[in-house]
Chain A
Amino acid sequence: MGLFNVVTSDELNNIQVNAGMLLKTFDPTSPAAPTAANIISATTGGITASCVPQFEDFGQDIDNCPNNTKEMKKIVGWDCTFATTLLDMNEDSFKLALGSATKYSETTSRPASVEPRAQVAQQDFADLWFVSERVDDKIIAIQLKNALSTGGLVYKTQKNGKGQLTVTFTGHIAISNPEVIPMVFYLCDEDGYTPAQTNT
């Protein structure tokens, strides 16, 4: 055995398996199996979470200052997204994919419908959770705050196959709290969270 090709059992515990799922709500302090109403949709092809800082090099236009000087590196924003492909074709999926849309229930004079809106409404934003499991049963829960579909509705059918809705949700900063970046990563136990004891 070589010196640098060793895998420890602890490292194996950290490996994530399976696709996970998108949920409307999740409590990382008290994880529970999701109810049907809490599940966004069946998905295919897995789910991608992305949290990418937008950097600006403030030294870029300064003579004699090398590019990528650490003292000049500034973060000007974060791109936080969930991307996946939904398989549930219902009013909720269409509304979610459209982002800014209104869902109309069936009435005696018209069937149910979902209609895109010309304006974004504040109630169009909602938190989403991407929850998956590690091989040692620890739960990886990612919260996307103030999420809105920014990829629009892309609905594709295929011969002898399932129709698919490709969606991208983007997290948003609230102007009331501009320091809060809209993605949080939790690692929690199946049987809940016990706060660490503080010494008094």
Chain B
Amino acid sequence: MNKYQALYEFYSSFDIPAYEENSVPEKAELPYLTYEIMTADLDMENVALSCQIYFKSNSLMKVNAITEKLYNALEGGKKLKCDAGYIVLYRGRPFAQNRPSGDKTVKAKYINISADFIVK
């Protein structure tokens, strides 16, 4: 599994489809999660990543529930094994912010994640 597949697999584990933020299909239906891909080498510097969660709803309840799942999954650092080594994801700061979507019936959350790329 390469780095990109490892990130996709992690973001796809929250019961809603996950898409790389620039690769959301035109016909994709809400809810879904979009995530940013950045990679780095073994220089021990954290890399700031983000993802966004979208739900078609008048309430924040569902988007908050997925945010909590993501928060719990990152407890203590989530290690993703890949061919090149490991990616370790941590909660970023601030972790989650509500984000205006332009549509009152769409609720969105912006999540900050920091990553260590322990890869060769």
A-to-B contact residues, CB < 8 Å: 6-9, 12, 15, 17-18, 133, 135-137
CB-CB nearest in chain A for B87: A135
Which residues between 85 and 120 of chain B lie within 8 Å of chain A, taking CB atoms?
85-86, 88, 90, 116, 118-120
Q: Report whether A17 and B88 are in contact in the complex, using a CB–CB cutoff of 8 Å.
A: yes
B-to-A contact residues, CB < 8 Å: 42, 76-77, 79, 84-86, 88, 90, 116, 118-120
Q: Which residues of A contact B120 (CB under 8 A)?
A: 6-9, 12
Q: How far is the CA of A45 from the CA of B66 in the complex (A)?
A: 29
Q: Report whether A17 and B118 are in contact in the complex, using a CB–CB cutoff of 8 Å.
A: yes
Q: How far is the CA of A12 from the CA of B77 in the complex (A)?
A: 16
Q: How far is the CA of A137 from the CA of B77 in the complex (A)?
A: 11
Q: Among B42, B85, B90, B119, which residue has the most Cβ atoms of chain A within 10 A? A: B85
**Interchain nearest-CB distance for B96 vs A (Å):** 21
Q: Report whether B116 and A12 are in contact in the complex, using a CB–CB cutoff of 8 Å.
A: no
Q: Report whether B118 and A135 are in contact in the complex, using a CB–CB cutoff of 8 Å.
A: yes
Q: Which residues of A contact B88 (CB under 8 A)?
A: 17-18, 135
Q: Which residues of B contact A133 (CB under 8 A)?
A: 76
Of the candidates B85, B90, B116, the one whose C-beta lies within 8 Å of that of A9 is B85
